[in-house]
């Protein structure tokens, strides 16, 4: 059974660039497009900006430094946000964070230069920067569909309190994380791993406060030999108390110290086989995630030294989704290029993050020893195939699952957003398709505006 629903939709906005989704990528894209002269609208289905950084309660920012911890390589809008959040006490600056610290969940490797942050500071600074750039922000607004003529998008249909309407746009940047716009527009994509179909697990973050940090630190020092990737904090407690841990599908409890003293953000929850492009799956994951948060909290409170008086301060508003669609773009980044630290001539962003696959068939992931200072992401990974005015930024850019697991971090997603916004504004000015943007000049513009695109 199907119903025909017809309605003439009015045009609620007419812009140069519309950015769908205001997570890390969308924030970067909107600010960059507006700063470079495009009339820009960014909208989000949620009641706040930030995506996973706020609603998902994810923290810390994964490293924005090179593998030798020598210099910051994700800069530009991300660095501006860090500096402004730092000025209001909303972030621990990544320059000072090293492996083994509480901010790095006591991990001996793989967590140098991470940056814990306060999500309210992120919201405040992000909204201030969007406003100052001249971009318009619309919250509580869902992307519904595209209006398409041949291989060209005329605009997007949105739904909000005002009803359904059309946003006309000369150029669309899909920062929905899930590539919702690209999928609707008919851009080819793969969900999860192209080889075995696995999708990275979903997780619900929680925040625990009133923890005795000194006692936790002493306990971690006692167990230093047992702290290693994917068998991180409390793998020993889990072994000691199987009756209380049950069949929970993870063998460690990552506890990242927060900006606020005595508080930890917990990355432990694990829900398998979630296809987050399906609402049923999202709902199931949210319900399981909520149960898991209380399970983790109760376990820590009962067994972990220093958590005796702990309080559960918050669970995430939104289930954490690591992976959904990887679009097919004009170039596809591969896991091999990430692992070999390939440097591309047309790079728009550099990063030194691990391939963090959270594979369900092994303890947790893949920690690659760096063979170079960083790897890069070429501009054409952001250019969607088959549509002449669509860019995609954020975790769903054109990359295989291996590369996708390394590029999906918040700082890099913001850098992709900045590149996409800048390219969109250039394309509009020059009346050309994003695919034809001169990458040499794009890179020069990005550098002039504070970004780092390679040595
Ligand atoms: C459990 C977990 C742990 C992680 N750990 C870390 C970590 O420690 N450090 C790190 O740096 N990164 C981490 N990440 C990765 C990181 O959080 C995300 O990959 C990153 O936020 C992706 O940014 P994005 O802008 O592409 O998408 P998102 O952050 O998902 O933002 C997308 C935005 O688009 C909006 N949106 C989506 N669909 C629509 C629609 N149809 N209409 C309107 N709006 C829409 C959403 O509401 C959201 O605001 C983690 C992720 C998870 C899930």
Among 441, 360, 377, 371, which residue's Cα sits nearest to residue 413?
Answer: 377
Query: Is the minimum distance from the CB of 44 to ligand 1 under 6 angstroms?
Result: yes
409 C-beta closer than 6 A to ligand 1: yes
Average pLDDT estimate for 264-279: 97
Q: Which two tokens stand for residue 138?
A: 């619309």
Contact status, residue 227 vs residue 237, Cβ threshold 8 Å:
no
Reported as a single tens digit per residue, the pLDDT across 83-131 is: 999 999 999 999 999 999 999 999 999 999 999 999 999 999 999 999 9
41 Cβ closer than 6 Å to some ligand 1 atom: no
Q: Mind listing the pLDDT tens digit for each residue in 297-310? A: 999 999 999 999 99
pLDDT of residue 101: 97
Q: Tell me what the pLDDT averaged over the chain comes to.
A: 96
Give pLDDT tens digits for 421-445: 999 999 999 999 999 999 999 999 9
Nearest CA to ligand 1 atom 49: 51
Q: Are 365 and 357 in contact (CB under 8 A)?
A: yes
* For the CA of 59, the nearest atom of ligand 1: 8
Residue with tokens 């630290």: 341
So what's the pLDDT on residue 231?
A: 81
> How much distance in Å is there from the Cα of 297 to the middle of ligand 1?
24
CA gap 453, 65 in Å, rounded: 13
SS3 220: helix
Phi/psi at 61 (5° precision): -60, 130
Tally Cβ neighbours within 10 Å of residue 305.
14
**Domain ranges, ordered by start, for the chain:** 11-95+117-195+324-448, 206-315
> Quick check: 200 pLDDT over 80?
yes
pLDDT of 353-403, one tens digit each? Answer: 998 888 777 666 666 667 999 999 999 999 999 999 999 999 999 999 999
pLDDT of residue 308: 98
Positive or negative torsion for Cα 340, 346, 351, 357? negative
Q: How far, in Å, from the CA of 163 to the mean position of ligand 1?
A: 26
Ligand 1: does its nearest atom lie under 6 Å from the Cβ of 311? no
Q: Does any ligand 1 atom lie closer than 6 A to the CB of residue 26?
A: yes
Closest CA to 273 of 198, 380, 366: 198
For the structural domain made of 206-315, what CATH number should be given? 3.30.70
Element (H, E) at 325: strand 325-327
Any ligand 1 atom below 6 A from CB of 143: yes
Residue 155 is encoded by which pair of tokens?
């605009």
Q: What is the pLDDT of residues 128-149, one digit of tens each?
A: 999 999 999 999 999 999 999 9
Gap between the Cα atoms of 113 and 71, Å rounded: 10
Q: Is 58 in the pocket of ligand 1 (CB under 6 A)?
A: yes
Atom of ligand 1 nearest to the CA of 320: 53
Architecture of domain 11-95+117-195+324-448: 3-Layer(bba) Sandwich (3.50)
Q: Is 313 exposed, middle or buried (0-12, 13-18, 19+ CB in 10 A)?
A: middle
> Which of 18, 20, 23 maximizes ligand 1 atoms within 8 Å of its Cβ, making it the mutation to test the pocket?
23
pLDDT in tens, 311-344: 999 999 999 999 999 999 999 999 999 999 999 9
Q: In this structure, are residues 194 and 401 in contact, taking their beta carbons and an 8 Å threshold? A: yes
Strand partners, 256: 265
Q: What is the pLDDT of residue 363?
A: 63
Q: Cβ neighbours of residue 371 under 8 Å, at least 6 residues apart?
A: 339, 340, 341
What is the C-alpha to C-alpha distance for residues 148 and 383, in angstroms, rounded to an integer? Answer: 17
What letter does residue 225 receive in the DSSP assignment?
Answer: G
Pocket test for ligand 1, best of 41, 42, 49, 51 (most atoms within 8 A of CB): 51
Contact call for residues 414 and 61 (beta carbons, < 8 A): no
pTM above 0.95, yes or no: yes
**Alpha-carbon dihedral angle through residues 322, 327, 333, 339, given to the nearest 10 degrees:** 20
Does the Cβ of 22 fall within 6 Å of ligand 1? Answer: yes
């Amino acid at each position: 059974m199907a119903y025909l629903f017809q309605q003439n939709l009015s045009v609620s906005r007419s812009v140069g660039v519309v950015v769908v989704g205001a997570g890390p990528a969308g924030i970067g894209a909107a600010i960059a497009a507006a700063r470079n002269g495009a009339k820009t609208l960014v909208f989000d289905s949620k009641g706040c900006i930030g995506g996973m950084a706020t609603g998902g309660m994810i923290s810390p920012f994964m490293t924005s430094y090179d593998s030798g911890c020598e210099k910051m390589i994700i800069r530009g809008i991300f660095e501006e946000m860090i500096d402004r959040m730092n000025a209001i006490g909303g972030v621990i600056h990544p320059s000072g964070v090293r492996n083994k610290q509480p901010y790095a969940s006591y991990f001996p490797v793989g967590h140098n230069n991470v940056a814990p942050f306060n999500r309210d500071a992120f919201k405040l600074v992000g909204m201030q920067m969007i406003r100052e750039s001249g971009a318009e922000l619309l919250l509580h607004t869902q992307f519904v569909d595209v209006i398409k003529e041949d291989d060209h998008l005329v605009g997007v249909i949105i739904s909000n309190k005002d009803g359904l309407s059309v946003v006309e746009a000369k150029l669309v940047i899909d920062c929905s994380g899930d590539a919702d716009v690209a999928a609707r527009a008919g851009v080819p994509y793969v969900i999860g791993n192209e080889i075995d179909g696995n999708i990275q697990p979903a997780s619900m973050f929680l925040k625990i406060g009133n923890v005795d940090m000194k006692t936790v630190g002493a306990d971690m020092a006692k167990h230093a030999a047992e702290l290693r990737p994917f068998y991180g904090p409390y793998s020993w407690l889990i072994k000691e108390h199987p009756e209380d841990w049950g069949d929970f599908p993870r063998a460690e409890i990552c506890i990242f110290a927060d900006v606020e003293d005595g508080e930890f953000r917990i990355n432990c929850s694990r829900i398998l086989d979630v296809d987050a492009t399906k609402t049923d799956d999202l709902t199931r994951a949210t319900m399981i995630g909520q149960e898991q948060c209380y399970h983790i909290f109760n376990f820590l409170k009962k067994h972990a030294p220093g958590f005796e008086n702990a309080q559960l301060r918050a669970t995430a508003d939104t289930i954490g989704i690591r992976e959904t669609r990887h679009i097919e773009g004009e170039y596809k980044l591969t896991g091999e290029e990430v692992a070999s630290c390939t440097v591309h001539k047309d790079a728009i962003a550099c990063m030194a993050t691990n391939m963090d696959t959270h594979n369900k068939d092994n303890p947790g992931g893949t920690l690659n020893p760096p063979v170079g200072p960083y790897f890069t992401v070429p501009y054409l990974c952001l250019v969607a195939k088959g549509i002449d005015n669509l860019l995609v930024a954020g975790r769903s850019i054109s990359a295989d699952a291996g590369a996708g697991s390394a590029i999906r971090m918040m700082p890099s997603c913001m850098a992709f957003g900045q590149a996409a916004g800048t390219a969109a504004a250039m394309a509009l000015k020059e009346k050309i398709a994003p695919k034809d943007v001169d990458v040499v000049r794009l890179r020069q513009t990005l550098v002039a505006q504070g970004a780092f695109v390679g040595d």
